[in-house]
Structure 1
Amino acid sequence: MTTALNRSPLEASPSSGRPAASAAGPAGRTGVDDRTRLHPAQRARDLADAAAGIADVLVIGAGVTGAGAALDAAARGLKVVLVEAGDLAIGTSSRSGKAFHGGLRYLEQLNFKLVAHAIAERDLMVKTLCPHMAWPEPFVYPLSHQWERPYVGAGVLLYDLFGLKGRAVPRQRHFGRRGLKAHIPSIDERRVVGGIQYYDALMDDARHTLAVVRTAAGLGTRVLTGTPVVDFIRDTAGTVGGVVVQDRDDGQRHVLRARAVINAGGIWADELQQRAGANTFRVQPAKGVHLLLRPEAIQSQAGILARATDSVIIARRWYGYWLVGTTDTPWQKDKSRPVAERADIDYLLDNLNRYLARPVTADDVLGTFAGLRPLLKPVDGVDSTSALSRDHAVLTGPPGLTTVVGGKYTTYRRMAMDAVDAALAPLGIDTPSCTDRLPLLGAQRWPETLARADEIARQHRLPPSTVKLLLARHGDRIDEVLALAGSDPALGRPLEGAPQYLAAELVHAVMAEGARSLADVLVRRTHLSIEQRDGGLSLATTAATLIAPLLGWTAAQTEAQLQAYRDLIHAERAALDAACGRTTGAQP
């Protein structure tokens, strides 16, 4: 069993109108009318409802900020519509560093306000909002010189003090050279004189964003994916009164009216604002690349945060693997397809290996992913994206449209609250936000569900390690997933070659989690695309066979989905394959 100060159950080896009930109500757990369940019939119903009425708030973009804004507005009792061009968390929100963190490095930039807010949000996630998927994790800052200890120690002490109220993570710990080597056997003791350990919280970004969206749906939010905004509705004075979306399924356009529109388009936020008739800012996409390493690549009892050539390098344990990041470079190419390049992989491995006794090689890398941070670019221009502010901004204009942009994943809830406050001000609505005390889907009955872990394992004849992973992904909704196995025993079996997942989870992704494509399932509802050496290609046919009937795909459509997934993996793996001297899909 875990507590707020103990390790998460995730350290098992990866191989081994408004509804009558709220999201936490009885129907929100197993009922057929459960509005938290996202699926094709729900999408059709929500699209018809949204087109037939006028929303109080319409949010563009189902990344974590847009999802947070939809939840914030819905929790205030407002009628909300959330529209997304692609899938939930399809952009930056599934390609982050997968951590709730205060941003220790921002202390050096004297951005105390950002760090204080981020730590408060981190602790809120661990203690209240999503304890099933956010867990404290230790990190060590290696010291190369003795003079660094008081300097770094003072910074970590300040970091601890920001989190003193209602502490959710342990305090710092100091190591000498010998103690650090025992704590991190992979460290090169010739490179360090000791280290300082502190804590942040790890999580699963795509599934967290999904939980935010489903919680909002349970409070009445109409959720529409695959519906890009193609135009804005404006009156003669230029006031925005809604949007026009195009359904990617049939090409039909729909007018969705709203009293207030929030633009949470991330890296597309400036383009959306321009389409609405204003041009007050620019977004500079900054590419961040991460590598997923096999579990044996590093031997350590803690993550590592250390200085890199131009920023910091971070290696963190994540679902039993090692996740290493990140880069910070401008991206001028296709914003819908950021990819890792050979230089990114070399940069990360070179900087990580400065601190390791046994170098990590490209062959230790299971997968890579790249995301784009939407940084606000000042008018006079800045060449280095690492110098651009990580603070968020809420911008109004044209009338009726509020844009929220910038910021960091950890502070999404504050960003959403600020955006909704600004959007509602012209309407004279001053109902306060309450999302700081609203557990997300999966967390409403978390302590009781966690206490049943051993019982669930026995009842379903599953290894305890598998149940722990299921609990981390689904929280108190684990019974929804396992109920599928009750109706079809084949769905209760682990996937061949990926026993950390049940076949039922692939079906559940379509029946309750809004997945509409093969990539939605293999990239965001699960992480098979980066956890498998071949990018999940060997499992793609199995997954497609399971979900095709649920989505009504013909044989031709199923093959098209498979080919699209193959193309995606080949594109994303090109740099890694070149670094390893292999072809995509080859075994080590």
Structure 2
Amino acid sequence: MVLSSITRPKVKQFMGEYHFDLLVIGGGITGAGIALDAVTRGLSVGLVEMQDFAAGTSSRSTKLVHGGLRYLKQMELKIVAETGRERDIVYRNALHVTEPERMLLPFHKGGTFGKLTTSAGLFVYDKLAGVKKEERREMMTAEETLHMEPLLREDGLLGGGHYVEYRTDDARLTIEVMKKAAQKGALCLNYMKVEQFQYDRNEKVSGVIVRDMLTGDEMQMNASVIVNATGPWVDEMRGLDELSNDKRLRLTKGIHIVIDKAVFPLRQAVYFDTTDGRMVFAIPRGNKAYVGTTDTFYDNDKSNPIATEEDITYLLEALHYMFPEVTIRRKDVESTWAGVRPLIYEEGKDASEISRKDEIWEAGTGLITIAGGKLTGYRKMAETVIDHVVNRLATSSIGPCLTEHLPLSGGDFDSEEQFNAFLESKSNEAVLFGLTKEEGRRLASLYGTNVDLLYNYFSALSNDEGILPRIWKAEVLYAIHYEMAMTPSDFFIRRKGDLYFNIGYVKLYKEAVTDFMGKILSYSDKNKEQYLMQLEKHIKEAEGLGK
């Protein structure tokens, strides 16, 4: 099965007629992981998401698959150990959307970390997380630290620790998990909102009424087991059923800002402490650098959190403190994004202190809820949930978890060496299609082993003189036919990430992409106007103007 916008109506019809073993509510990284684990064990699986896939927290993180060094500070050793192991699994199964990122942790006189605590902390981190030998920590002098990143505050600098994290595109990682689940037989639909639960004669959940957010029509879906994996909306979903315990979420908001490297020529990813004792990342990405994150309690619109001027000012002040020679003004912030963390409430703790651990709850009606957790731990969380589901179904025909060694869509590589050879090969091949080697490398890096489908679309398209370049048309076609992109916002934000890292392209091509998608997906004039207005609203919000 292909995750296609074109076949969406057929999939929707079938899902209304079929009785699934498992129905997953929520199309973020947690829900996608659960669907993939379940379908590869032999369960019949349906998944519905009320927005686009990854539109919530799963496209709004710091975009790191990391082992949780910050949790060592809170003595959450189990989280450090488990996420450390899991990040390597995520990396191996998705080499095209994750890559090692050397991180520099400077320590200054009077700062949160000293030489001894940094060295000891990173040593324990290496051991707990099972870090590979070539990626273990290095301790450096102040001179070596400044050589690595000359922009750092020199006053009071005592040295630095150098260790490895993994950078990712969180939305694309989610999409690749979802595509793999669909490939294995899961039926997944975006823009389908659960309105109410259905119950059998024993008052157990047996189905849901869902509303198509694009057409307005409602339908019923039935399943033996239903999992609530809706992230920040977990409590609302439980409220439609029953609040079977006193557990509840406490939402916190984190924001990030993006600055061009011409203004902030960061050469090395840095993890640094602020004047108020928090930790912030500054990470180079292409010709940009992004900085985050904040951590504040949040009770407003969960579906569309935005960065406030106060949030942006906080991060700019943090930058000025750690990189005093760099002049970065508010006008230099090209774009922003904000995400909501669905944390499990703990009395008396501030936003940065609440645990990121995950928990599973089961209501008296049989509704299973998964809450908390982190991007890095999505696969292990899914395994735990499906172990629980398997016990509920009590059938011997269900196989073991297979996801530890299962490449995601586009990630069919045996090693880093093979992936690097693939990139070289595909960049050379791109020239045969009339692309540059650089364009070929970018496509191969983004789409992995699916890149041949992009090349096929590109070669089949006419080389007209329209506003939208042929390569962009090929990417739109792929997003529609293989990634269920329904709107231009889906394409620009979650399929390509350009709203955050290439906002100029979004402004340049927004009308052309809307027109092109409209022809393929038969947008009405009202649809086109609505989707374009929606995208323009996202642009203003990303610029910090959407109040």
What residue in structure 1 maps to residue 453 of structure 2? 480
Query: Does residue 398 of the first structure (1) align with residue 364 of the second (2)?
Result: yes
Report matched runs for 1:92-171 at 5 Å. Answer: 92-126=57-91, 128-145=92-109, 148-164=114-130, 167=132, 170-171=135-136
Q: 1:512 aligns with which of 482, 504, 510?
A: 482
Q: Which runs of 4+ in 1 moved over 4 A?
A: 491-496
C-alpha displacement at 1:559, in angstroms? Answer: 2.2
What residue in structure 2 maps to residue 469 of structure 1? 442
- Please give the alpha-carbon distance, in whole angstroms, between the structure 2 residues aligned to 1:104 and 1:263: 29
CA contact 2:427–2:436 (8 Å) conserved in 1: no
Query: Does residue 385 of the first structure (1) align with residue 351 of the second (2)?
Result: yes
What residue in structure 2 maps to residue 20 of structure 1? none
What residue in structure 2 maps to residue 346 of structure 1? 313
What residue in structure 1 maps to residue 523 of structure 2? 553
- Please give the alpha-carbon distance, in whole angstroms, between the structure 1 residues aligned to 2:287 and 2:441: 12
**Quick check: 549-558 or 109-118, which moved more?**
549-558
- Please give the alpha-carbon distance, in whole angstroms, between the structure 1 residues aligned to 2:502 and 2:385: 39
What residue in structure 2 maps to residue 266 of structure 1? 231
CA contact 1:36–1:512 (8 Å) conserved in 2: yes
What residue in structure 1 maps to residue 336 of structure 2? 368
- Please give the alpha-carbon distance, in whole angstroms, between the structure 2 residues aligned to 1:246 and 1:349: 42
C-alpha displacement at 1:406, in angstroms? Answer: 0.3
| Equivalent position amino acid for 1:136 in 2 | P
C-alpha displacement at 1:531, in angstroms? Answer: 2.5
What residue in structure 2 maps to residue 443 of structure 1? 411
CA contact 1:212–1:440 (8 Å) conserved in 2: yes
Q: 1:432 aligns with which of 400, 415, 435?
A: 400
What residue in structure 2 maps to residue 187 of structure 1? 152
- Please give the alpha-carbon distance, in whole angstroms, between the structure 2 residues aligned to 1:482 and 1:201: 28
What residue in structure 1 maps to residue 171 of structure 2? 206
Report matched runs for 1:64-75 at 5 Å. Answer: 64-75=29-40
What residue in structure 2 maps to residue 304 of structure 1? 270
Q: 1:282 aligns with which of 248, 255, 258?
A: 248
Q: 1:322 aligns with which of 289, 292, 299?
A: 289
Residues 533 and 76 (structure 1 numbering): CA distance in 2 closer, same or farther, change over 3 Å?
Answer: closer
Q: Output the TM-score relative to the length of structure 2.
A: 0.93
Residues 511 and 99 (structure 1 numbering): CA distance in 2 closer, same or farther, change over 3 Å?
Answer: same
| Equivalent position amino acid for 1:312 in 2 | M
Q: SS of 2:528's equivalent? A: helix
Q: SS of 1:386's equivalent? A: coil
- Please give the alpha-carbon distance, in whole angstroms, between the structure 1 residues aligned to 2:339 and 2:134: 28
| Equivalent position amino acid for 2:333 in 1 | V
CA contact 2:336–2:544 (8 Å) conserved in 1: no
Query: Does residue 457 of the first structure (1) align with residue 430 of the second (2)?
Result: yes
Q: SS of 1:568's equivalent? A: helix
| CA deviation string 1:269-316 (max 9, x = no partner) | 111112112342211111010111212333344200011224201111
CA contact 1:191–1:355 (8 Å) conserved in 2: no
- Please give the alpha-carbon distance, in whole angstroms, between the structure 2 residues aligned to 1:169 and 1:361: 38
Q: SS of 1:414's equivalent? A: helix
What residue in structure 1 maps to residue 49 of structure 2? 84
| Equivalent position amino acid for 1:465 in 2 | E
CA contact 1:392–1:406 (8 Å) conserved in 2: yes
**Quick check: 331-340 or 55-64, which moved more?**
331-340
Query: Does residue 526 of the first structure (1) align with residue 496 of the second (2)?
Result: yes
C-alpha displacement at 1:493, in angstroms? Answer: 10
Residues 389 and 494 (structure 1 numbering): CA distance in 2 closer, same or farther, change over 3 Å?
Answer: farther
C-alpha displacement at 1:191, in angstroms? Answer: 4.2
Report matched runs for 1:222-233 at 5 Å. Answer: 222-233=187-198
Q: SS of 1:278's equivalent? A: coil
Q: SS of 1:304's equivalent? A: strand
CA contact 1:367–1:535 (8 Å) conserved in 2: no
Q: SS of 2:408's equivalent? A: coil
| CA deviation string 1:417-453 (max 9, x = no partner) | 1111112212114632111011000012563633523
Q: Output the TM-score relative to the length of structure 1.
A: 0.86
| Equivalent position amino acid for 2:262 in 1 | E
Residues 491 and 114 (structure 1 numbering): CA distance in 2 closer, same or farther, change over 3 Å?
Answer: farther
What residue in structure 2 maps to residue 12 of structure 1? none
C-alpha displacement at 1:556, in angstroms? Answer: 3.5
CA contact 1:123–1:163 (8 Å) conserved in 2: no
| CA deviation string 1:37-77 (max 9, x = no partner) | 42232x11221221111101100000000000000000101
- Please give the alpha-carbon distance, in whole angstroms, between the structure 2 residues aligned to 1:274 and 1:483: 47
CA contact 2:251–2:342 (8 Å) conserved in 1: yes
C-alpha displacement at 1:461, in angstroms? Answer: 3.2
- Please give the alpha-carbon distance, in whole angstroms, between the structure 2 residues aligned to 1:538 and 1:358: 29
- Please give the alpha-carbon distance, in whole angstroms, between the structure 2 residues aligned to 1:335 and 1:168: 41
- Please give the alpha-carbon distance, in whole angstroms, between the structure 2 residues aligned to 1:52 and 1:543: 35
Residue identity over aligned pairs, in percent, reads 29
Residues 299 and 173 (structure 1 numbering): CA distance in 2 closer, same or farther, change over 3 Å?
Answer: farther
RMSD: 2.3
What residue in structure 2 maps to residue 581 of structure 1? none
CA contact 2:109–2:156 (8 Å) conserved in 1: no
| Equivalent position amino acid for 1:256 in 2 | M
- Please give the alpha-carbon distance, in whole angstroms, between the structure 1 residues aligned to 2:67 and 2:333: 27
| Equivalent position amino acid for 2:265 in 1 | Q
Residues 105 and 256 (structure 1 numbering): CA distance in 2 closer, same or farther, change over 3 Å?
Answer: same
In structure 2, runs of 5+ residues without a counterpart are none
C-alpha displacement at 1:176, in angstroms? Answer: 1.8
C-alpha displacement at 1:262, in angstroms? Answer: 0.6
Q: 1:335 aligns with which of 302, 317, 333?
A: 302
What residue in structure 2 maps to residue 28 of structure 1? none
| CA deviation string 1:175-201 (max 9, x = no partner) | 222222221121121241221111100
- Please give the alpha-carbon distance, in whole angstroms, between the structure 1 residues aligned to 2:381 and 2:181: 16
| CA deviation string 1:363-412 (max 9, x = no partner) | 3322100010001113xx33522121100001111333110010111101
CA contact 2:105–2:271 (8 Å) conserved in 1: yes
- Please give the alpha-carbon distance, in whole angstroms, between the structure 1 residues aligned to 2:503 and 2:318: 23
- Please give the alpha-carbon distance, in whole angstroms, between the structure 1 residues aligned to 2:49 and 2:345: 24
- Please give the alpha-carbon distance, in whole angstroms, between the structure 1 residues aligned to 2:406 and 2:504: 39
- Please give the alpha-carbon distance, in whole angstroms, between the structure 2 residues aligned to 1:188 and 1:326: 20
- Please give the alpha-carbon distance, in whole angstroms, between the structure 1 residues aligned to 2:446 and 2:226: 32
| CA deviation string 1:522-572 (max 9, x = no partner) | 111112212245582232111112211111013332122212221232244
C-alpha displacement at 1:249, in angstroms? Answer: 2.9
Residues 424 and 242 (structure 1 numbering): CA distance in 2 closer, same or farther, change over 3 Å?
Answer: farther
CA contact 1:132–1:475 (8 Å) conserved in 2: yes
CA contact 2:424–2:441 (8 Å) conserved in 1: no
